[in-house]
């Protein structure tokens, strides 16, 4: 029965390498160090090593979790709106081609331009602001807020500023 218990204990300790190393260290201390003072010093050192190994294991797990989080955040914009992303992109390219034809190519080759309805032009403007304007404005506001000293930007009645001591 004792052999089965020690085998199960060794298998359980093998799951966590820190526990396995500490268990092996305790066995070696008990077998090879007869002096109680040296045995206590070795056990203390083993406890310090166990703490260092546990901290290293936690740091490695934390770094792995941070790396996974960064990968997921980097992939999020690419995975965002799976069904409408291609439609939005196609609409944008078609509108750019129409504007290029109307104001560049068509007049240059003396061809008839295409009349673009105002509501389609507004949709294109909103699409461009969603891709470029609004995110760029939010990023600008973050950068202004993080600057040291007094800084303010006002545009179209919207004012963003920072009054910090730095």
Position 95 in a domain: no
Residues 123, 66 within the same domain: no
Position 107 in a domain: no
Give the model's pLDDT for residue 100: 92
State the chain's mean pLDDT as an integer: 77
Position 106 in a domain: no
Position 97 in a domain: no
Please tell me the total count of domains within the chain: 2
- Percent above pLDDT 90 for the chain: 4
Give the model's pLDDT for residue 75: 62
Position 112 in a domain: no
Residues 121, 69 within the same domain: no
Position 83 in a domain: no
Residues 67, 6 within the same domain: yes
DSSP for the chain, written as a single string = -HHHHHHHHHHHHHHSHHHHHHHHHHHHHHHH---HHHHHHHHHHHHHHHHHHHHHHHHHHHHHHHHHHHHHHHHHHHHSSTTTHHHHHHHHHHHHHHHHIIIIIHHHTT-PPPPPPHHHHHHHHHHHIIIIIHHHHHHHHHHHHHSSSEEEEEETTEEEEEE---
Position 81 in a domain: no
Could you tell me the pLDDT band of residue 2, with boundaries at 50, 70 and 90?
low
Give the model's pLDDT for residue 97: 92
Position 93 in a domain: no
Give the model's pLDDT for residue 20: 74
Average of pLDDT values for 32-37? 85
How far is the C-alpha of 42 from the C-alpha of 37, rounded, in Å?
9
Each residue's pLDDT tens digit, 95-113: 999 999 998 998 889 888 8
Give the model's pLDDT for residue 77: 58
Average of pLDDT values for 73-94? 69
User: What domain range includes position 126?
Assistant: 117-163
Each residue's pLDDT tens digit, 53-70: 888 888 888 888 888 888
Residue that finishes a domain, picked among 55, 73, 91: 73
Average of pLDDT values for 113-121? 88
Residue that finishes a domain, picked among 73, 103, 133: 73
pLDDT higher than threshold 70 for residue 138: yes
């Amino acid at each position: 029965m004792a052999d089965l218990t020690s085998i199960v204990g060794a298998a359980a300790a093998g799951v966590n390498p820190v526990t396995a190393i500490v268990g092996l260290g305790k066995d070696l201390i008990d077998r090879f160090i007869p002096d109680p003072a040296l045995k206590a010093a070795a056990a203390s050192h083993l406890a310090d090593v166990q703490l260092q190994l546990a901290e290293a294991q936690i740091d490695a797990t934390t770094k792995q979790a941070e790396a996974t989080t960064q990968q997921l955040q980097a992939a999020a914009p690419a995975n965002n709106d799976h069904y409408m992303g291609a439609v939005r992109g196609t609409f944008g390219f078609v509108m750019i081609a129409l504007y290029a034809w109307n104001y560049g190519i068509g007049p240059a080759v003396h061809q008839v331009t295409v009349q673009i309805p105002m509501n389609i032009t507004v949709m294109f403007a909103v699409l461009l602001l969603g891709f470029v304007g609004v995110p760029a404005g939010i990023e600008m506001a973050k950068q202004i807020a993080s600057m040291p000293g007094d800084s303010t930007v006002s545009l179209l009645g919207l004012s963003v500023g920072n009054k910090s001591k730095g």
